[in-house]
Amino acid sequence: MAEKQPTASALRAFHDGLAAAYGPQHWWPVQDADNPRFEILVGAVLTQHTAWTNVEIAIAELRDAGPLTADALLAHDDLPALIRRAGPHNIKARRLRSLCEWFVAQGGFDVLQTRDSATLRRELLALHGIGHETADVILLYAFQRPAFVADAYAFRIMERYGWTSGARNYERLRRSIEAVGPDNDAGFYDELHALIVAHAKQRCHKRNPDCGHCVLHDRCDHGQAAVAESERAV
């Protein structure tokens, strides 16, 4: 399938089609009403290569051990044990400590919020264990900055849609979507990311996607081909 470039109107139609199918997603899911923004930072690290259900258990363990703040996490001698359910706990504990040390040293949200998005993203990417996807999740959900999260679900759907092809390149896909998306509407990207996850889990499966019931199939390269093949087989 030939790659086609997304346009502003096509991206809006993509977003609105998924929104009509799945409704408001109200992301990012948090447990701690006292420290919701900091919980997003923690969750963004813990969810790397780990099911979200395990992240929720690890965050609950952290909350049981004390307040969910950077200072409290840095004070935990048993941090790896507390986040054991979230996968490689020793690795993620080092990443959390690096993030917390930076957060405290920079003055927390009050100071960091005053920085422009490019500077924040650059500083996040310089931290141990923070890659492009994690940085953009933090920018979008913790700082409410317009950022497209080009995760594996986004690649799967947009490859089938015809908006990207070839070797997967995070920055190329992110920039192609942000180039036609709204400049100052973090809520649009918030819902877009959450809706992509919902669609990938409910319709656009990794194997045997349910193209016949997909709200986007008439505009999706893969969906059009799959539906046409199904009709020929009848």
CATH code 1.10.340.30 region(s) in the chain = 36-142
* 44 and 50 Cβ atoms separated by less than 8 Å: no
Q: According to the model, what pLDDT value does residue 196 have?
A: 98
Domain at 8-26+149-233: CATH code: 1.10.1670.10
* 4 and 163 Cβ atoms separated by less than 8 Å: yes
Residue pLDDT, tens place only, 122-131: 999 999 999 9
Of 219 and 18, more confident: 18
pTM of the model: 0.92
Closest of 83, 66, 79, 130 to residue 102, by C-alpha: 130
Q: According to the model, what pLDDT value does residue 16 have?
A: 97
Fold of 36-142: Endonuclease III; domain 1 (1.10.340)
pLDDT, the chain, mean: 94
Q: Is 93 helix (H, G, I), strand (E, B) or coil?
A: helix
Residue pLDDT, tens place only, 178-229: 999 999 999 999 999 999 999 999 999 999 999 999 999 888 888 788 767 7
